[in-house]
Amino acid sequence: MKENRSNVFKSRKRKEKIASVISLIIIIIMAFVVLFPIWWILRTSLMTNAEIYKYPPLFFPSEFRISNYQKTLEVFEFWKYLFNTMTIIVPAVIGGTLTATLCGYAFARLRFRGKRFLFSLCVGSMLLPSMVTLIPLYIMWTKGLGLVDSYLPMILPYFTGGGAFNIFLIRQFIMTVPRELDEAATIDGAGRFRILTNIIVPAIRPAMIVVALLIFITLWNDLLQQTVYINSSDKFTIAIGLTNFRGALKADWSLTMAATCMSFAPGVLFYLIGQKYFVEGIVMTGMKN
Amino acid sequence: MNRPLKKSKRRRSHISAKEERTAYLYLIPAFIGLIFITYLPLLGVFGISFFEWKGITSPKFNGIDNYVRLFTKDFFFVDSIKATVYFALIAVLGSMIYSLIIAMLLNRKIPARGFFRAIFYVPYVLPATAVYIGWSWLYETNFGLFNYLLARIGINKVQFLASSRLVVPSLAAISVWLSGNLIVIFLAGLQNVPRIYHEAAEIDGANAWQRFRNITIPCMTPIIFYNLLMSLVTNMQIVVPALSLTNGGPGNSSMFMTYLMYRYAFLNNQIGYACAISFIFFLIIAIFTAILFITSKSWIFYEGGD
């Protein structure tokens, strides 16, 4: 009986091990598949056009032609575009993260009249697609407030909590911080704002970083609003610049791919720096809902 | 006995008033946002959709004419609904299946799990415009990677983005590739499925498929619901590939609703008409979301049997 049980246990262990090995193999293959498009774009950006059109295609460039990037930079004003994009993103990320934290804190910790109603308004707006309100907002910013050819229509909305989703996310995180910490600080004479800055903020740092990342990605991807609000080429962002560059150089794939790779870089860099927090925080966004 | 109680009650109500003021102060940004960025513009869309408004001239009320034109005369509109729903269907189902499978594999005891998780997440942090332009080279008909790979297994050249039949599925495949954030959330959910359920089922002789079907899936339903909702709202709003790559073509096959709205409002100056499209777009997403919420009661499994 005892032997039999240990046999069952052993065979289960072995089966589990085999399953893990197979999973690992599939994961490695899938990781290659997922990364391969990025490699293909990168390798194209380092080749001459003659090399690109070779058949069968080369999987590695014969030499790494960094000069493609210099040539691209002559037409594709990457640094200017990057600076412009950051002019939108940096204030928006700061404003969004700060106001979302303030509002999330109020919803999580403070008692006030109309809380339920306000909170349901907030959650309800989470399901409202931002594309729906584009036209009235455009009229408000440009015709109502005269903000033509300006970044402000893309930045200012983030100073209103950065969207209901971010407020909700911060609130959910604050709910997991033990209330005893607040109470202990209150006894020590700390006010609401001190509690927020000294106790809550350090405890929810991963959530704040996720909010920052989400705002970053949203603005990074938002070609539509950038196209709509920006007119002059001095103010073009990476997304607009890249679209125009491709339109102008349709056939020159190596230069187009060099511009594409340059546009990949800042996001990847930002991600690598905060990677630990992003995953931790995003994991929690899923769990808290 | 009575006095301290009274005192404490008074003190609490005093704190409450102060607390209330602090709360309203902190919520000012959210107030402004909800009013001016969310709900008033939504009313605005609805209101403007009943006007003929060419941008320069003042708006002229024309009742439901915009809606009549949408549903009876505008072929672009019908095509745009088809393209959007078709895209969202493939993209949502594709990314849900893909990310659940990857998450389940990552949930095994494998080395360097964090490293692999990071790899699958990378596409998500790349700017969408660059992603679509980069992939357009992979999809290129004569020299692109995919046609080379197809040729290797004996399949003739396929026009991915240049064919009206394949453009939407091809773009949806990119959206699946971009769904790394779903993987991370699924993985977190899987790690919360109590191991003891699996062990008990295994002792009772359940095979891997039965355990997946009867334990993993039911425990994961709240997470599946969340991912489904987020993925649906994101993918219905697809616009970047049309804007940066296809211009709605070939034919009208990638004329997504948001792109059509953009064209009418910003290229043709038909603002009232574009608002009518926006409002219908809002209704379609609202209906899909409502269906998800209503049906969720019957398929979401909450632990503790609520």
pLDDT digits (tens, 9 = 90+) for A200-246: 998 888 888 888 888 988 898 899 999 999 999 999 999 999 999 98
Q: What is the pLDDT of residue B4?
A: 46
Give the pLDDT mean for B104-133: 89
Interface A-B: count of C-beta contacts within 8 A: 276
Mean pLDDT of successive 10-residue stretches along chain A, which has 289 residues: 61 79 92 94 89 82 86 91 95 94 92 89 85 93 91 93 84 86 85 87 87 88 93 93 86 89 90 76 59
Set out the domains of chain B in order of their start, with CATH numbers.
Answer: 77-296 (1.10.3720.10)
Partner-chain residue, chosen from B27, B137, B202, that has the shortest CB–CB distance to A44: B137
- In chain A, the residue whose alpha carbon lies closest to the alpha carbon of B266 is A228
Nearest CA in chain B to A237: B129
Can you tell me the mean pLDDT for B212-228? 88
Q: How many angstroms separate the CA of residue A195 from the nearest CA in chain B? A: 13
ipTM score here? 0.88
The pTM assigned to this predicted structure is: 0.89
Closest residue in chain A to residue B21, using alpha carbons only = A112
* Interface contact flag, B117 A279, Cβ < 8 Å: yes
Nearest to A167 by CA among B28, B156, B158, B241: B28
List CB contacts of B151: < 8 A, sequence separation 6 or more.
B157
Element of type H or E holding B52: strand B51-52
CA distance A63 to A252: 18
Q: What digits encode the pLDDT tens for the residues B243-283? A: 999 988 898 999 999 999 999 999 999 999 999 999 999 99
How far is the C-alpha of B257 from the C-alpha of B224, rounded, in Å? 26
Percent of chain A past pLDDT 90, that is, above it, reads 41
pLDDT tens-digit profile of B72-107? 989 899 999 999 999 999 999 999 999 999 999 988
Distance of residue A96 Cα from the nearest chain B Cα, in angstroms = 10
Contacts of A103 in chain B (CB under 8 A): 26-27, 29-30
**Closest CA of chain A from B197, distance in Å:** 16
Contact B116 A31 (CB under 8 A): yes
B230 pLDDT above the threshold of 70: yes
Give residue B170's pLDDT: 95
Closest by Cα among A15, A19, A47 to A257:
A47
For B28-51, give the DSSP string: HHHHHIIIIIIIHHHHHHHHHTTE
Contact yes or no for B86/B168 (Cβ under 8 A): yes
Of A99, A78, A132, A70, nearest to A215 by C-alpha is A99
